[in-house]
């Protein structure tokens, strides 16, 4: 009986030792390793998975998924000119050029400086995570005088509990 208890005791010490060793070896510790998977480094938007740290425009789209906010660019105007999201919500935008002009869509806010979508006579989208800070975020076309001509819109980030 005593031998069995001693045996279990030794096994437990070995297990604890192995866990401690693993914890010291793995980046972010054992729990960090177990809870992080490849899934966590990407987020899923209307156009599929994307890297929130580095949002990229999509290839030209055949169809725009229903979950995406679709904005057309025609006659120096965006339609619609505004839309509303929640803080840190995944936002998927799809732009469609209606004229022969090309457009480069950007946001003015520093926190969204990595958003850039080049649009011609086709639809192209981008997914990103909305800012944490509620407020109005201006997006515009950075080609020539397009912005002055009216290619400007606003993304309202509103906390639903306020």
Of 89, 78, 49, give the one whose Cα is nearest residue 138: 78
Q: Contact 106/78 with Cβ under 8 angstroms?
A: no
Number of alpha helices (DSSP H) and beta strands (DSSP E) in the chain = 4, 11
Binding test (CB under 5 A) with Cu ion, winner from 64, 71, 103, 126: 103
Q: Rank residues 141 and 157 by Cβ distance to Cu ion and give the closer one.
A: 141
Least distance in Å: CB of 63 to Cu ion?
23
Q: Rank residues 7 and 122 by Cβ distance to Cu ion and give the closer one.
A: 122
Mode of pairing for the β-strands spanning 48-50 and 69-74: unpaired
Beta partners for residue 95, in sequence order = 71, 124
Q: Rank residues 42 and 74 by Cβ distance to Cu ion and give the closer one.
A: 74
Least distance in Å: CB of 146 to Cu ion?
3
For residues 13 and 15, what is the distance between their CA atoms, to the nearest angstrom?
5
Q: Rank residues 23 and 116 by Cβ distance to Cu ion and give the closer one.
A: 116
Tell the burial category of 104 from Cβ atoms under 10 Å away from its Cβ (0-12, 13-18, 19+).
middle
Least distance in Å: CB of 121 to Cu ion?
12
Contacts with Cu ion, 132-151, as mask; x by CB under 5 A: ---------x-x--x----x
Contacts with Cu ion, 42-61, as mask; x by CB under 5 A: --------------------
Using CB under 5 A as the criterion, which residues of the chain lie in contact with Cu ion when the complex forms? 103, 141, 143, 146, 151
């Amino acid at each position: 009986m005593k031998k069995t208890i001693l045996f279990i005791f030794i096994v437990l010490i070995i297990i604890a030792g192995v866990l401690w060793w693993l914890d010291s070896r793995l980046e972010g510790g054992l729990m960090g390793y177990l809870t992080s998977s490849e899934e966590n480094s990407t987020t899923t938007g209307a156009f599929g998975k994307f890297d929130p740290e580095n949002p990229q425009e999509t290839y030209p789209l055949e169809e725009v998924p229903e979950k995406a906010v679709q904005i057309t660019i025609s006659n120096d105007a965006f339609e619609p000119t505004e839309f509303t999201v929640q803080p840190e919500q995944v936002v998927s935008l799809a732009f469609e050029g209606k004229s022969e002009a090309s457009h480069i869509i950007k946001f003015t806010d520093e926190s969204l400086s990595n958003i850039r979508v080049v649009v011609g006579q086709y639809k192209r989208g981008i997914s990103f995570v909305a800012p944490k800070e509620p407020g109005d975020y201006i997006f515009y076309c950075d080609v020539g005088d397009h912005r002055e001509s009216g290619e400007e819109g606003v993304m309202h980030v509103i906390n639903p509990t306020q």
